Structure 1
Amino acid sequence: MKIRLSALVSACALAYPFVPAQADDAQLGHVVVTATRQPITADEALASVDVIDRDEIARAGNATLVQLLSSRPGVQVASNGGPGSSSSVYLRGANSGHTLLLIDGVRVGSATSGSPTLENLPLELIDRIEILRGPASALYGSDAIGGVIQVFTRKGREGFQPSVRAGVGTDGARTLGATLAGGVERLRYNVSAGSERSDGIDAKPKSTRGSDRDDDGFRNEYFSGSVSLGFRDADEIGLTVLHSDMRNWYDNAKVFNSYLDKRTDSLGLHMRNQITADWTSTLRFGYGADESHNYSDRNAKSTFETAQRQFTWQHDIALGVGSLLAAYEYLEQEVDSTADYDKTQRHTNSVLLGWSGQFDRHHLQVNARHDEDSQFGSKTTGALAYGYRLTPEWRARASIGTAFKAPTFNDLYFPFSGNPNLKPEEALNREAGLVWERGGTSLSATYFNNRIKNLIAWAPVNPADPMGDWAPANVAEASIQGVELAASTMLWDYRVRASIDFLDTEDEETGDELGRRARIGGSLGIERATGPWTWGMEWNAQGRRYDRIPNNAANRMGGYGLLNAYVHYALAPDWSVEVRANNLLDKDYELAQNYGTQGANAFVAVRYAMH
């Protein structure tokens, strides 16, 4: 490893006095479900979990979900151009396909590319986001090697709360959205719809090809809805739905105005029944769809569609000490494409067990899961986490867990190059952390070490003939270690939050760093609310990194720091104005080599929301 552990420890000692928490005081009271599949408060979680609530989402202006995630601890991103362009998210340095995306508990993503599509999920539909960093296959199965991002759409509450939001900004940005939400007695409902558009920026500003010399914008039309009905004391049935339809233009060597249509759909139906005072049963049906239609030529179109059908029956049982989790899951994945795959469907049957409990100063969580896949066979994963409260302010925790990712349909069955004999990618993660909390101040430090084997990479079919045919093979390994430091406090009347990440990634075969992952990054945020005004500033930075392997000067991308500011003014109880300015210093930087990013930009919106 290129970063020695002693160097990381020294960095912790230097940074810790200035950098407090895993979550601020408000976040410590958040109820989260992703860390255990059961509702707990954030300060009870033994895993590293981060929550972005509705207030923070509203302050993001016209930012995309990918841009919002990029400011969180342990998250790095790459984009092939401006907002709306194809993007990748790296949790704790793991590959982009090692992040599981859930929308209201429903698995959504591409089974062909193997990565979730995050850039077309509009923030206006989202109530909160939970980011679980670290392996979670023992809870969720395949894909969760780096972690889980769960998006919760907006829900209704008692009363009637209509809202309308309209905004304009630089680069031709404009947005319009409306929501009808409310509830009466045990009925809750929410319907949201809108559109967002931008003329964009030149995705490849350094290119000299004529067809690349244009701005590449996007448009996104979306809606979501939810309805739930409670009956008896704690029983409930509910429905959630989300649809997003985005078109993103991109640069192409052949023609002007090449574009990519991306659609995401999520449908969830659940029924929760309290069998006894200590036993709750939840039945859930989910449908997730990911579509990509690429119009790269005037006369050509390529299509990749994924449909995921899911059924879950989960039982939560309160015991004398702790609580028991038991569940059965069925997942069916089906793809459709202009490419002629050898197989287009597979299914997985899964069972999982878990227990978590607190006694005296001790906190323990144990999870195990067995997945039986129709393609590669069976896989068993597990996780063990332990926490100990040293004093009323100090908590220590440690965990170990395994995870895996099933091969994609592209890896297995793509015409003329698929390898149906591939095994799942596997990971073993170990981590330890320390948390300090007092009043409105919190501090945390976490060290993690993740070793990934059987990574799928292109290799010669015949090792003795490197000039012959190549195909995907389980030939690569990677090691990832790092330290996450975070903090939050009230300093006079200012809320201050900060984080810094040290990351060491290594391709075990070449010794190179993994592509598009910086060795150091961090963020600093300051906010103050006084009367009708709320204002704040943010600084987000990433160190230098390489676009890909090999790590040579030609593939090197420099570091950057972005300064942003925002103001929120309440004109009246139901009216407000939002102003946000990003990249105030007009920094020129890259998230992917030779692709452009936005310079200084601003956005202004007016919102009406009945309270």
Structure 2
Amino acid sequence: GNLFLQDYFKLWENTNVTLGLSYLYFNVEEGQTKNKISPMISLSQNLFTNFRIYASFLNAVRVPTLFQLYSETSGNPNLKPEDANKIETGIEWYLFMNDEDRYLSLQLAYFYNDLKNLIYRASSSYRFQNISEATLYGAEVQSVFNYNRYLSAELGYAYLNSPDSSSEILEEVPNNKIYFRLGIRTDLQISLNYELNYFDERTTYVPSKNLDSYILHSVNIGYQLLEFLKLRAELNNITDVYYEEELGYPSAGRTIIAGLNLTF
């Protein structure tokens, strides 16, 4: 079970504080009961009306899933819950233009995670295990340009790394990721979205074998036929790129999906 309390208040006119406290009770089998109290604090300061800086600290606990505990091929009933101390700091900037719908935004963030008992497996054919200590750090940059209510674009970059002492946690995880999104809306209840994603080369549990970098293109279109009925279609991996998210397991090639959404 998990109980969470949170409070938000203004320390000064332009200073916001969020405090939180969570209690975790975890019991898999008799004699394996865990109790943990985890704090959280977030502080943000509006330096200008359109410029904000923030910093946060969070202690988080993640219990192993039933699959991780009892899977016939990968389960480990002796897994311990993960414990992570997470620090993040960043800035947010907005440039509002004459038109109320037109703006440009920029978000920068740096994070550092100190992990204990990280739940990990080298591949789907290995059993889950705990890594006693690991460190993960990185940065994210995101920019959004909203030209008007019909056209918007978004560009983002993420960097992820870990010291050599715990580099195994980044196996099959790219150090660098880039994405671009373009959204178009019309007065005819039609929406069109395009997305590009770049994934950097990745190491694997086989020292001499890396997974190649790749770029994925996708597009989707939606039509609001009725107030409660929306039709949609997706075309994923447009260029039919061959790639593996996990060593030895090819991912889907060009895929077409069609469907509808009903809202009651």
Equivalents in 1 of 2:116, 2:140: separation in Å? 23
String of CA shifts for 1:15-68, please: whole Å, max 9, x gaps.
xxxxxxxxxxxxxxxxxxxxxxxxxxxxxxxxxxxxxxxxxxxxxxxxxxxxxx
Equivalents in 1 of 2:137, 2:7: separation in Å? 28
8 A Cα contact 1:365 1:386, kept in partner: yes
Aligned to 2:137: 481
8 A Cα contact 2:92 2:108, kept in partner: yes
- Aligned counterpart for 2:236 among listed residues 568, 582, 605: 582
Aligned to 1:567: 221
CA pair 407-490 structure 1, distance change in 2 beyond 3 A: closer
Aligned to 1:353: 5
Structure with more relative contact order (C-alpha pairs < 8 Å, separation 6 or more) = 1
Aligned to 1:365: 18
- 1:553 is paired with a residue whose SS is coil
The structure with the greater share of residues assigned to strand is 2
Equivalents in 1 of 2:4, 2:261: separation in Å? 45
* Code of the aligned partner of 1:392: T
**Within-5 A mapping of 1:363-402:** 363-374=16-27, 375-402=32-59
Choose 370-379 or 558-567, whichever is displaced more.
370-379
Q: Using the TM superposition, give the Cα deviation of residue 540 of structure 1 relative to its aligned residue in structure 2, in angstroms.
A: 1.4
CA pair 599-425 structure 1, distance change in 2 beyond 3 A: closer
- Aligned counterpart for 1:517 among listed residues 143, 151, 173: 173
Q: Using the TM superposition, give the Cα deviation of residue 366 of structure 1 relative to its aligned residue in structure 2, in angstroms.
A: 1.0
Equivalents in 1 of 2:225, 2:14: separation in Å? 49
Equivalents in 2 of 1:376, 1:525: separation in Å? 46
Equivalents in 2 of 1:513, 1:608: separation in Å? 38
- Aligned counterpart for 2:109 among listed residues 430, 441, 446: 446
Equivalents in 1 of 2:251, 2:25: separation in Å? 43
- 1:517 is paired with a residue whose SS is coil
List runs of 5+ in structure 2 lacking aligned partners.
97-102, 122-126
TM-score by length of 2: 0.77
Q: Using the TM superposition, give the Cα deviation of residue 447 of structure 1 relative to its aligned residue in structure 2, in angstroms.
A: 0.4
Q: Using the TM superposition, give the Cα deviation of residue 442 of structure 1 relative to its aligned residue in structure 2, in angstroms.
A: 2.0
**Within-5 A mapping of 1:477-556:** 477-491=133-147, 494-506=151-163, 508=165, 511-512=167-168, 514-532=170-188, 533-547=190-204, 549-550=205-206, 552-554=207-209, 556=210
* Code of the aligned partner of 2:133: E
CA pair 472-573 structure 1, distance change in 2 beyond 3 A: closer
Equivalents in 2 of 1:569, 1:456: separation in Å? 42
- Runs of 4+ residues over 6 Å off in structure 1: 409-415, 571-576, 608-611
Aligned to 1:433: 90
Equivalents in 1 of 2:70, 2:172: separation in Å? 28
String of CA shifts for 1:199-231, please: whole Å, max 9, x gaps.
xxxxxxxxxxxxxxxxxxxxxxxxxxxxxxxxx
- 1:508 is paired with a residue whose SS is helix
Note the aligned Cα RMSD (angstroms): 3.4
- Aligned counterpart for 1:558 among listed residues 206, 212, 216: 212
String of CA shifts for 1:402-442, please: whole Å, max 9, x gaps.
11233566877899x9675x653321111101001233332
**Within-5 A mapping of 1:246-395:** 331=1, 351-358=3-10, 359-374=12-27, 375-395=32-52
Equivalents in 1 of 2:261, 2:21: separation in Å? 47
Equivalents in 1 of 2:257, 2:76: separation in Å? 46
* Code of the aligned partner of 1:544: E
Q: Using the TM superposition, give the Cα deviation of residue 396 of structure 1 relative to its aligned residue in structure 2, in angstroms.
A: 0.5
List runs of 5+ in structure 1 lacking aligned partners.
1-330, 332-349, 459-470
String of CA shifts for 1:335-360, please: whole Å, max 9, x gaps.
xxxxxxxxxxxxxxx55433211240
Aligned to 1:403: 60
Q: Percent identity?
A: 21
CA pair 371-596 structure 1, distance change in 2 beyond 3 A: closer
* Code of the aligned partner of 2:242: D
8 A Cα contact 2:64 2:81, kept in partner: yes
Aligned to 1:293: none
Aligned to 2:247: 593
Q: Using the TM superposition, give the Cα deviation of residue 498 of structure 1 relative to its aligned residue in structure 2, in angstroms.
A: 1.8
Q: Using the TM superposition, give the Cα deviation of residue 578 of structure 1 relative to its aligned residue in structure 2, in angstroms.
A: 3.4
String of CA shifts for 1:50-95, please: whole Å, max 9, x gaps.
xxxxxxxxxxxxxxxxxxxxxxxxxxxxxxxxxxxxxxxxxxxxxx
Q: Using the TM superposition, give the Cα deviation of residue 575 of structure 1 relative to its aligned residue in structure 2, in angstroms.
A: 7.1
* Code of the aligned partner of 2:106: L
Aligned to 1:455: 118
8 A Cα contact 1:386 1:397, kept in partner: yes
Equivalents in 2 of 1:457, 1:598: separation in Å? 24
- 1:561 is paired with a residue whose SS is strand
Equivalents in 2 of 1:351, 1:527: separation in Å? 39
- 1:563 is paired with a residue whose SS is strand
8 A Cα contact 1:568 1:578, kept in partner: yes
User: How many residues of Structure 1 are paired with residues of Structure 2 in the alignment?
Assistant: 244
Q: Using the TM superposition, give the Cα deviation of residue 529 of structure 1 relative to its aligned residue in structure 2, in angstroms.
A: 2.1
CA pair 512-454 structure 1, distance change in 2 beyond 3 A: closer
String of CA shifts for 1:498-551, please: whole Å, max 9, x gaps.
211111134635x4452221001121111222332432321112111123x35x
Equivalents in 1 of 2:228, 2:71: separation in Å? 54
Equivalents in 2 of 1:528, 1:473: separation in Å? 45
CA pair 573-563 structure 1, distance change in 2 beyond 3 A: same
Aligned to 2:100: none
* Code of the aligned partner of 1:376: T
Larger Rg: 1
